[in-house]
């Protein structure tokens, strides 16, 4: 229901009906109601996404190749699960429920942490690294959103993301193809 109609238009009664369970059963497992259920869905998607990302960047290859693997993993994940993009990055920010927004921020923080590991090398002040990583991630997510909505094809999406990340890395003095 959340993927189909969005958070705001998905009520617990409809979710219970679709799942073939009593609404009271949902409240038994999710006593705080819809926000708790939505954040549980987000947590499951986040775990899947982070597993894909961490597998991609943990390969024993050079940094440039890990960046390529990261971009390919992100684009591939959202191509396979386009609704996940909306559930993790679009829908939560239109909601005024603190726990939902906090979960969405946590997802972005985890992705930023993985990206920061690729950017981190001697001499970059931590706050500068946070700013660079956050900005780069915002760009990458926007480009992936264009892919999810059909405005960019896979090749253009991957190329734009790689150009951005590798360009930032080269400006930071980081490895473009080695290390």
Q: Domains in the chain, please, with CATH?
A: 38-171 (1.10.357)
Q: Are 18 and 1 in contact (CB under 8 A)?
A: yes
pTM for this one?
A: 0.84
Q: What is the pLDDT of residues 156-166, one digit of tens each?
A: 999 999 999 98
Average pLDDT over residues 103-127: 85
Confidence of residue 177 (pLDDT cuts 50, 70, 90): very low
Confidence of residue 78 (pLDDT cuts 50, 70, 90): very high
Q: What is the pLDDT of residues 39-60, one digit of tens each?
A: 899 999 999 999 999 999 887 8
Confidence of residue 12 (pLDDT cuts 50, 70, 90): confident
Q: 105-115: b or e for each residue (b if 16 or more CB lie within 10 Å)? A: eebbebbbebb
The residue length of the chain stands at 179
Average pLDDT over residues 35-41: 88
**CA atoms within 13 A of residue 54's CA, in its CB half-sphere:** 8
In whole angstroms, give the CA distance from residue 52 to residue 2. 23
What lies within 8 Å, CB to CB, of 47 at 6+ separation is none
The Cα-based distances of 59 to 54, 62, 114, 166, 168 in angstroms read 9, 9, 13, 18, 21
pLDDT at 119: 82
């Amino acid at each position: 229901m959340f993927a189909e109609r969005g958070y705001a238009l998905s009520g617990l009664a409809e979710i219970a009906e679709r799942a073939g369970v009593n609404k009271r059963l949902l409240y038994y497992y999710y006593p705080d109601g819809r926000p708790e259920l939505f954040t549980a869905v987000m947590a499951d998607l986040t775990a899947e996404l982070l597993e894909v990302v961490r597998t991609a960047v943990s390969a024993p290859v050079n940094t440039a190749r890990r960046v390529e693997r990261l971009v390919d993993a992100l684009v591939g994940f959202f191509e396979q699960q386009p609704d996940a993009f909306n559930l993790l990055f679009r829908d939560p920010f239109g909601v005024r429920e603190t726990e939902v927004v906090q979960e969405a921020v946590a997802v972005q923080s985890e992705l930023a942490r993985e990206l920061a590991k690729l950017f981190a090398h001697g001499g970059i002040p931590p706050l500068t690294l946070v700013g660079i990583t956050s900005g780069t991630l915002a760009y990458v997510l926007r480009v992936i959103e264009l892919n999810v909505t059909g405005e960019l094809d896979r090749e253009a999406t991957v190329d734009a993301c790689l150009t951005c990340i590798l360009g930032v890395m080269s400006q930071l003095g980081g490895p473009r193809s080695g290390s």
